[in-house]
Structure 1
């Protein structure tokens, strides 16, 4: 069985079979489709309706064909609505007539923010056996009988088709295009012989999802090796040339050739399928179209790209000031110190914004003291209230807490509580509750708190009755989207700058609220490996600004060598934070680890001009900073499966070393097409192809593409943080032949157009740029 597993409690499933009335509806069409009850054959894969078996394609001449008991042939009308959001993007809604989604605007769940980014009037053609709706850049063909859907690109090539052709030996259909029972709806798509699927959010297994079955449900995953996900996203990419997106908050099961090798089965725990398909050969174009629908992130402030340090937990102001002083004493630049829950009086799965003055004194004075060492303050929160908090009764009486469908205060689910008391959750769909929660941040922001770590958010129960009437089946997965959006908005409102949160949980649309981090990885090589895979998978579904806990959060005692290897990875990640249950300060791991880690942290600061360009591009175009190699080399058959290396922007290839020992490691990696130069050693590589190098602890391969111009800043002898680099001139490092004009976004908010000719840079205003160009290769 592919997709849904039905039982007696889910109702009788129906299969869509025959197109009836077709009518134009504004910029699209509405198609009525007859659906018939269906039965699954016992002991053999396949489905049958009450129609004549010859109409269903059954091989009646099979000598061992069993007696077939067909269900009653009754009919119910479903509707298929096809409308274009742009020349390359179509929305296909499939639902029983009268379903709520058919009457709702695409923005109704808060995932889609602009339903028609590029309005287009499609061409509609009706034929005896099918109808087509097309824009010139893509088309949708709907078969009349049997009902089927095919999506084509600008050249008429099929990129997606439903699974009506897929049968077992007796001709029984194994993957009917749409199968629904009122509680679940499955879309069956045929996988091509060489088609590979990636995406589905922050998944910690292999980047290519073929052969996997994924449950897309926001959970406190309790690590990166449990099979659960903090940030699943119902967005996927196909090497056939399309990106799919299910506009739903319902739990989705994605069976990617797991049950049936040639079937992609997508089951939403909902009465409908609301599918967007973006078509283009270039996945960057498709991501741009997807984020045009769902919004793009702002570029975080410059200081966000510096080095962050945290621990679970720092217990006092004295301890944190000691860490800030240690950064200065050890010449380790640092922009942010993070404070986990000890700032609260009631601090176990509770946030009521009551500052613990016994541990941390006056908040404004504490922020000022850290600033003297060069560090901003990050503060932890979660959206739950403990009944032991003085604010619980206030929130409950005012109706700010989530209720269940029985009218009682809903209880947190999923995350174990330390004392058994039921925690409550803030209802962010209630405007007064949202405003109350936001206002609790105000004094913190006024005192100079720079960022909030928006932890948790995965615990909304399934029987939640939210104030705005969001159907319970959608509410759970949408909760972290709304939570992070509320905190991001108040930061922007109160500070007047681009906001930044540090979120753990997420869903489709969460990329609008940078940044996110990879949750509680284990402090092992396996944990580091899973972290990279999670970041690459998330980048394809929620493009923006992602990071991870350097050193991992928990588990076996972290070796100094693994700490160094993880720091190297962190230095070339979109954002950089060390954090864990135990100390993560570089001097805690011995003199060698301190020296090597400090070099890589300083390398990151020297590369901040390049990171700033990538961040600017990502925010403007809807692309991730951390990029799977296939994002820039989609036609390289090797690139799609590369999940142990990545691109940072277009021009830096980063090859993490997954090892926890002190000795050199033999590392094999794939170099994309073209000439590349190791940033640190100057060694040259030709791609595409595999290369192996011996890598000592002090090194990690970081390769630069020929033709790249990498702006860098020469670090002063003494500096503390990113603020100290603003206004310093940049040096342009040119790799290979790169005589060209380029536009640079400056730290100060100005742009500079630079003309590179013959080893000299000519700049007109804006960011200071050294006239001398450094050439490599």
Structure 2
């Protein structure tokens, strides 16, 4: 083998190789790192710098070395690494060229992270490394060759760069940090390490073996490989959570190309990585939501039953549905109206109410209210040039412009008429306020909630008013769109905000709620929807749901409609919606009867759901929880993505089937004792069980030791308002006496003591009875 070193300027990849300086700067440690030009071997895995081959660990005696290697020059380039603590167990690792914005700006500059405080670290130095230590996390930076390790409070290495991984001749295959049209971070994965997260991804919950592009898109379904709500956050079963504080596109190769490497490519000159250490993912999510904010608990009525259709075409059509809900004794809180409320109603929102179809808005809202239903309205952040307000918005500068000054156009989402739609620039304070105040007449007339649809269409050549870099703007647009509407609803109404959003990014969980996009009306669509929700729960903890029955596709069967309704009844929110009718009476008498039973069951469990929602808001946890979240020590739990926990105490096992005959359902029972919610049948875990479930049933298990508050639901209950003032019953599973703090529907705390046969409650919520399970 022969080597030659080129002397010309090298404009290609660079690899971080040597620490050249360490300076304490307030609560941060600034480390200067030398990056050297590097080349990838032709036709074989491996990277080389211009340094001596032996110094790079190359086995020069191997008979199958390449014959000739043209090494790059050794001209060093400076990279600045800044390490600080963002909490007792959270480290921030910011890396970029001198003067990069990651070093100049506060970490909140993108709107993802919302706090900028740091803890003072302890710094340890020796000849080999510098270590930045906090109470529950430590970052060790190896001086030469450059490498990073993160350790937890017990000193365990939970994250390490992949410098040890090489091919047979010793060439490194995954340099720790590679700069090449972006930043590549290569992390070594342990032999039994599993990676979860990355937002609302519709494939298997464990991401090992997958390659994901994190870029928010109009995914056109749940089976296309794209995602409406990707999030650059992941959890490792080795004991850490990582967040990339970026709006740039991220590619996550989770052992897809190299089985032992988690490779992260960020389309930016810098890397801003937060690492949260700790064995319990619940505690890591709590720390993550301290950084990025927590979702407020939505109003009680949001947890009732929602009904929608794309589309209802008139006021009378919707009032007929509301009357039918009452006639069939189906509780329902919200009716949703898609774009037909607009005059120009195809990928346009200009807030011009269609009086021809829906008459006087205030009168229409009042007519729905008389039937017990609130009104939800659709919107998107796009304007059609055919709209009467388009010229005003363009003249005032409210529309997103391109880098050459032209009005930007929505990308990827097809338009039915060929006209290009424009986008509202939410980074312009005046445009944001104009859009927000356009909601005021609707809110004043009693509209309860807006479905903030779309938002994934910002083009790559957009030049936003606030100067957001183009490579960050696309993914941040949904965050800013939903924030604008949610914030204004809260400010204008004085109540907890609520939107029903489709698009999202890191931080979107602050603006509840979100739904899983346009699923196909198939068993595969139902499965993908749940997987997306579980993955999103680990990345954006809060309040998420889905369209019962799926949005599009083959004719929905009565069996699948019932099975999906059962899943919806035990989801954080419950909304049926699709291109065709989703009302339960549209699927036959059996479907109506069974669906009504499950809807009523949901309403009876609203006191429990209310506690789970409070827990989510207070602790930064999702309502819908993967088993791996509540059972982090269970090696089986991460790969169980066909069932979930609702709150901490209900284990929900959806039945993925589109027929009406009984089916066998195999599911995993986590550690401990459990009881069937409807029959009290006991189950013990850990282990798999198979039960036969008729169409009327779905396995729902209650954790032993749980205290479930419930309320009686009869045919007189039309909506959640009818439950106010009704006493609750405490259902105790596997325990005799208990003391519990409950949050009443009025938001105030009630202390309940159960001793013997007596129930005593101190507070605003009446609790009059205790029922012990299993019943004797």
Answer yes or no: same fold by TM over 0.5: yes
Cα-to-partner distance string for 1:467-502 (whole Å, 9 max, x where unaligned): 000000000000000000000011111111001000
The residue that corresponds to 2:577 in the other structure is: 579
Measured at CA, do residues 203 and 652 of structure 1 come closer, stay the same or move farther in structure 2, by a change above 3 Å?
A: same
> 2:128 & 2:738 partners in 1: Cα distance?
54
| Matches of 2:424 and 2:763, distance apart in 1 | 49
The change in CA–CA distance for 1:738 and 1:670 in structure 2 (over 3 A counts) is farther
CA distance in 2, matches of 1:396, 1:759: 70
Q: Secondary structure at the match of 1:770?
A: strand
Distance 1:650 1:738 in 2: 20
Task: Spell out the pairing of 1:429-444 with structure 2 (5 A cutoff).
Answer: 429-444=427-442
Within 1, Cα distance between the matches of 2:414 and 2:420? Answer: 10
* 1:575-654 alignment runs, 5 A limit: 575-654=573-652
1:460 & 1:198 partners in 2: Cα distance?
28
**Does residue 218 of structure 1 match 2:216?**
yes
1:551 Cα offset (Å): 0.2
Of 504, 507, 510, which aligns to 1:506? Answer: 504
Aligned to 1:422: 420
Tell me, yes or no, if structure 1 residue 107 matches structure 2 residue 108. Answer: yes
Q: Deviations over 1:358-386 (max 9, x none)?
A: 00000000000000110000000000000
8 Å CA contact retained: 1:709, 1:738? no
Residues 254 and 264, structure 1, Cα contact 8 Å, conserved in 2: yes
Are 1:566 and 2:537 matched, yes or no? no
Answering whether residue 154 of structure 2 is matched by residue 155 of structure 1, we say yes
What secondary structure, in the 3-state scheme, does the structure 1 residue paired with 2:21 have? strand
How far off is 1:350 after superposition?
0.3
Aligned counterpart, 1:75: 76
- State the alpha-carbon separation in 2 of the partners of residues 359 and 211 from structure 1: 51
Identify which of 519, 522, 525 aligns with 1:524: 522
1:437-476 correspondence to structure 2 within 5 Å: 437-476=435-474
The Cα shift of 1:749 comes to: 2.0
Counterpart in the other structure of 1:263: 261
Q: Is the 8 A contact 1:762 1:771 kept in 2?
A: no
Q: CA deviation at 1:96?
A: 1.5
Q: Indicate how the Cα distance of structure 1 residues 688 and 372 shifts in structure 2: closer, same or farther if over 3 A, else same.
A: same
Shift of the alpha carbon at 1:136?
A: 3.0
Q: Go from structure 1 to structure 2 and tell me whether the alpha carbon gap of 1:443 and 1:457 turns closer, same or farther (over 3 Å shift).
A: same
Cα deviation, residue 757, structure 1: 2.3
Partners of 1:776 and 1:252 in 2: CA distance: 50
SS of 1:634 mapped into structure 2: coil
Residue in structure 1 matched with residue 6 of structure 2 by the alignment:
none
Tell whether the 8 Å contact from 2:93 to 2:274 is kept in structure 1 after alignment. yes
Partner of 1:353: 351
Compute the displacement of 1:11 (Å): 4.8
Report matched runs for 1:15-30 at 5 Å. 15-30=15-30
Alpha-carbon separation, structure 1, partners of 2:534 and 2:277: 21
Whole-Å Cα distance in 2 between the matches of residues 716 and 729 of structure 1? 13
Give the Cα–Cα distance (whole angstroms) in 2 for the partners of residues 55 and 97 of structure 1.
27
Partner of 1:5 in structure 2?
Answer: none
Hey, what does 2:4 align to over in structure 1? none
Residue of structure 1 in register with 2:691 after alignment: 693
1:397 aligns to what?
A: 395
- Separation (CA, whole Å) in 2 of partners of 1:624 and 1:463: 35
The residue matched to 1:334 in structure 2 has which SS? Answer: coil
Aligned 8 A contact 2:626 2:645 in 1 = yes
TM-score, normalising length: structure 1: 0.98
Paired with 2:434 and 2:135, the residues of 1 have a C-alpha distance of: 49
Per the alignment, residue 126 of structure 1 pairs with 125
> Which residue in 2 is equivalent to 1:4?
none
CA distance in structure 2 between the aligned counterparts of 1:186 and 1:483, rounded to whole angstroms = 30
Report whether the alignment pairs 1:54 with 2:48. Answer: no
- CA distance in structure 2 between the partners assigned to 1:524 and 1:726 by the alignment: 37
Measured in 2, the distance between the counterparts of 1:765 and 1:547 equals 32
Contact 1:708-1:738 within 8 A present in 2 as well: no
SS at match of 2:70: coil
CA contact (8 A) 2:732 2:770 kept: no
Structure 2 SS opposite 1:618: helix
Deviations 1:574-614 (A, max 9, x none): 00000000000000000000000000000000000000000
Q: Alpha carbons of 1:738 and 1:468: their partners in 2 closer, same or farther (altered >3 Å)?
A: farther
**Contact 1:760 1:773 (C-alpha < 8 Å) held by counterparts:** no
SS class of match (2:362): helix
Please give the alpha-carbon distance, in whole angstroms, between the structure 1 residues aligned to 2:758 and 2:270.
Answer: 60
Q: 1:367 aligns with which of 361, 365, 368?
A: 365
Q: Deviations over 1:328-372 (max 9, x none)?
A: 000000000000000000001000000000000000000000001
Counterpart Cα distance in 1 of 2:93 and 2:302: 39
Work out the CA distance in 1 between the residues paired with 2:348 and 2:245. Answer: 32
* Alignment match of 2:719 (pick from 714, 718, 721): 721
Distance 2:46 2:736 in 1: 59
**Matching residue of 1:196:** 194
Give the drift of 1:658.
Answer: 0.1
Question: How many residues are matched?
Answer: 765
CA distance in 1, matches of 2:147, 2:643: 39
Q: Paired residue for 2:337, among 328, 336, 339?
A: 339
Partners of 1:771 and 1:568 lie apart in 2 by: 27
Unmatched runs of 5 consecutive residues or more in structure 1: 1-9
Q: CA deviation at 1:738?
A: 5.4
Secondary structure of the residue aligned to 2:768 is coil
Deviation at 1:677, TM superposition (A): 0.4
Measure, in 2, the Cα distance between the counterparts of 1:346 and 1:57.
66
User: Retained in 2: the 8 A contact 1:652–1:702?
Assistant: yes
Other-structure match for 2:554: 556
1:741 is paired with a residue whose SS is strand
Q: Is the Cα–Cα contact under 8 Å of residues 673 and 688 in structure 1 kept in the other structure?
A: yes
1:173 matched residue in structure 2: 172
2:272 to 246, 253, 274: 274
Corresponding residue number in structure 1 for 2:753: 755
Once superposed, which parts of structure 1, at least 4 consecutive aligned residues long, lie more than 2 Å away?
756-761, 771-777
The within-5 A match list for 1:669-688 is 669-688=667-686
Question: In the alignment, what sits opposite 1:6?
Answer: none
261, 268, 293: which is aligned to 1:295? Answer: 293
Structure 1 position 775, deviation (Å) = 3.4
The alpha carbon displacement at 1:762 in A equals 1.7
TM-score by length of 2: 0.98
Asked if the contact 1:761–1:773 (Cα under 8 Å) also holds between the matched residues in 2, the reply is no
The correspondence of residues 538-557 of structure 1 with structure 2, limited to 5 A, is 538-557=536-555
Deviation, 1:64, is 2.1
